[in-house]
Structure 1
Amino acid sequence: MDQTHIGYTYWQQPMRQALPGLQYVQVQERDLAGDLGVSVETSNATVPGDDMYHALSSNALTIPPVDPYGAISRWIDIFSVGTNAVEWNITSNASFVHFSQSFGSLTSNGTTDIRIWATVDFASAPAGNGIVMLNISSSRDYGTQFNMPQLMLSFRNTVLPSNYTNGYIESDGHISIEAEHYSSITPAATNAAKVSYTIIPGLSRTLSGLTLFPVTAPSLDLTTAPALTYNLYTFSPITSVPGHVLNITLVATTSLNTDPNRPLRYALQLDSQPVQTVKYIIDQPAGNLPIGWAGLRGSVASNAWYSNSNVTYTGPGEHVLKLWLLEPGMVVNSLWVNLGGVRPSYLGPPESPRV
């Protein structure tokens, strides 16, 4: 590859190949927090000790929740941070939590660092929600001012009604939908344009694109566009959703409003709430690029448009999400229904379980 490519700091190539700053672990001096470090899934924090990723002098970290329809296991990294060999042991205050390895040894050369998995046996776990405490003990002290690492693992032992079929299931506080996996399609009341939905494999960062054909079709409305229907089942209590407001993010492929008289549009409805019609590309005058096109988190860098809508959450149970594409140039990839569990990431949450 002839183009300079080592040392990117923004979208343009570096002017010369330049390695980023390198750091080495000091192996001649013991860490202030002792000889053992612990980190958990989705966190950059390390305990015991202080860093910018968790509360000052706290020895506790929170592990993402587990439930029967999503992740039932979460990883924990245990590694050497000191100069001494050390024996470690992990225990739980709940008999239904099991570990891939519950004890071991660490040496300072880094060859014995280990990732273990904590798994919840939901057949033995109590119904409902709870928190399990995990303790990781060391055969040596935790430095001069820190204590034994403690991890909080929350579980949600939810049960799906047996009569719920053909839809998505909430897991980890969200529902992530791949657009092509709709539950059903409601034909348009008037289909004079003879449009239909077509799957374009691979036209997505995750699975596929879904669009209207033919591409020469006119602009549509709720009476002339077929509706995509997604059945959803949620477990989150209404009190856990701030303001009873759900955020729904639609992810579409990068594009522009090539015809200013026909901006790309879609319509969205949850249950029987009012339909929201959304123009997700906001053009600017004088030929300037639309809002959100450029920048490190813009549409180009993300290879996607993100469009957000707010709806009212009425509580756990069955829900129906409807989506209408109103311009044939629009390609939708996925939708994220956030009940408080969507975390920042490039690709977004993986697809939720469905039946």
Structure 2
Amino acid sequence: MEADHHSRAVGGDGIRWVRVDDIGRTGHGMEPYPLRAPRQTPGGDSPRLEYEMTLTTTGPVKVLAYLSPRNNVFATDGLKYAVSIDGQAPQVVNTTTATGANDTTMNKQWERNTSDNVNLTATTHVVDRPGRHVLKFWMVDPTVVVQKIVVDTGGVLPSYFGPPESRRYSAV
């Protein structure tokens, strides 16, 4: 799913989602604004992007988040976001530590992330039934820019661009 193809963008407390044109590998990104907004606790009515999707399988799925390589604007323990499916608890990901790019000096992983123009992270979720679901990409830190989200139900092969976006159908 391309980041700007969300079903719903939920803001709150002066925070809104903005589209970042032509960022990343395949399209436009989305980021919370303002960039100096305070860290958020994911869940409830906190800021998030929602993606409606239909899955034909059950069991574990891997959610791959293609993020722009960014630095944290606050002196905190890393740059974070969260993901959940349906009513499950959000899984918080620290992009700084998840990719091994947590050295304050230039390191090989940070070099790779910036040259590839992506910071690829993953979470694993369990889907209990086939059918319609809602994936939620939660804001935790303000400078996280999401480019693309891939839900791997099994068999996605590694590639530079990731798989093409699935067709979207509208009830309208």
Superposition TM-score, scaled by structure 1 size: 0.43
In structure 2, C-alpha distance between the alignment counterparts of 1:225 and 1:291, rounded to whole Å: 34
What CA deviation, in whole Å up to 9, does each residue of 1:262-291 have, x standing for no partner?
Answer: 622111111122211111112545x33467
Which residue, out of 147, 157, 163, partners 1:333?
147
3-state secondary structure, aligned to 2:148: strand
In structure 2, C-alpha distance between the alignment counterparts of 1:256 and 1:216, rounded to whole Å: 13
Kindly indicate whether the alpha-carbon contact (under 8 Å) linking 2:10 and 2:46 is maintained by their aligned counterparts in 1: no
Match of 2:7 in 1: 183
In structure 1, C-alpha distance between the alignment counterparts of 2:41 and 2:107, rounded to whole Å: 24
Pairing of 1:62-81 with structure 2 (within 5 A)? none
- In structure 2, the CA distance between the partners of 1:206 and 1:275, relative to structure 1 (3 Å rule), is same
RMSD: 2.1
In structure 2, C-alpha distance between the alignment counterparts of 1:225 and 1:328, rounded to whole Å: 12
- In structure 2, the CA distance between the partners of 1:212 and 1:257, relative to structure 1 (3 Å rule), is same
Match of 1:292 in 2: 109
Further displaced range: 325-334 or 213-222: 213-222
Q: Answer yes or no: is 1:315 the counterpart of 2:129.
A: yes
3-state secondary structure, aligned to 2:109: coil
In structure 2, C-alpha distance between the alignment counterparts of 1:180 and 1:209, rounded to whole Å: 6
Normalized per residue, the structure richer in helix is 2
One-letter code aligned to 1:351: E
Unaligned runs of 5+ in 2: none
Kindly indicate whether the alpha-carbon contact (under 8 Å) linking 1:219 and 1:262 is maintained by their aligned counterparts in 2: no
In structure 2, C-alpha distance between the alignment counterparts of 1:235 and 1:213, rounded to whole Å: 35
Pairing of 1:157-236 with structure 2 (within 5 A)? 177-188=1-12, 191=13, 194-222=14-42, 225-236=46-57
Please report how far the alpha carbon of residue 322 of structure 1 lies from its aligned counterpart in structure 2 after TM superposition: 0.8
Please report how far the alpha carbon of residue 346 of structure 1 lies from its aligned counterpart in structure 2 after TM superposition: 0.7
Number of positions where the alignment pairs a residue of Structure 1 with one of Structure 2: 165
Q: Answer yes or no: is 1:253 the counterpart of 2:68.
A: yes
Larger Rg belongs to: 1
Kindly indicate whether the alpha-carbon contact (under 8 Å) linking 2:20 and 2:28 is maintained by their aligned counterparts in 1: yes
One-letter code aligned to 1:310: T
In structure 1, C-alpha distance between the alignment counterparts of 2:86 and 2:102, rounded to whole Å: 34
Please report how far the alpha carbon of residue 183 of structure 1 lies from its aligned counterpart in structure 2 after TM superposition: 0.8
Identity fraction in percent: 28
What CA deviation, in whole Å up to 9, does each residue of 1:199-258 have, x standing for no partner?
Answer: 01101210111011112222222367322111110123x3xxxxx211100001112335
Match of 1:263 in 2: 78
In structure 1, C-alpha distance between the alignment counterparts of 2:3 and 2:137, rounded to whole Å: 10
3-state secondary structure, aligned to 2:23: coil
Further displaced range: 335-344 or 223-232: 223-232
In structure 1, C-alpha distance between the alignment counterparts of 2:152 and 2:164, rounded to whole Å: 13
Q: Answer yes or no: is 1:349 the counterpart of 2:169.
A: no
